[in-house]
Structure 1
């Protein structure tokens, strides 16, 4: 989420290409992107397209360099 020069916010979802939304406040931008994500998933399902899933994996640095 990035704050715009005009004070609003733009939200992008990197794992869902083209899924972008905006809102005048932080809360509204989050609400709008939730709707955009739901729409993206609905269209992808109707078109039989795969729905990207982002998985976070914790970085284990205790073995780094060994």
Structure 2
């Protein structure tokens, strides 16, 4: 069996631009959570927790984008956010205690506050969509 080296490709749209669905896995399937991207066929990941599934999905997303470019196929545009996939700025007032907790958690997870808040919002939306 031969090994293929695939060069990392910077995706034309950020991870956050693509809709994703986080679903619990049955115990028969090993438990934990599965994350899929409706706009990116075959791009998926999992994790023991929802947070871990989303973190692992970032790696899967990057690998999927690079592999897609490697085989010469176009990268689909995100469909949920219209033609512009540029991130938008959200300004939100928070109680100081909540902000302090978010800062501490971001530091503990080794990520930025912005990334943590985006991940938590995406997880919450995924849960809510799954129940609907």
Same fold (TM over 0.5): yes
Q: Distance in 2 between matches of 1:9 and 1:48?
A: 31
Structure 1 equivalent of residue 105 of structure 2: none
Paired residues, number: 57
Name structure 1 gaps, 5 residues minimum: 58-66
Q: Distance in 2 between matches of 1:23 and 1:54?
A: 24
Coordinate RMSD, CA, aligned: 1.3
Spell out structure 1 runs of 4+ moving beyond 4 A: none
Name structure 2 gaps, 5 residues minimum: 1-21, 83-132
- Please state which structure has a larger fraction of its residues in strand: 1
Q: Distance in 2 between matches of 1:38 and 1:16?
A: 12
- Please state which structure has a larger fraction of its residues in helix: 2
- Return the TM-score normalized by structure 1: 0.75
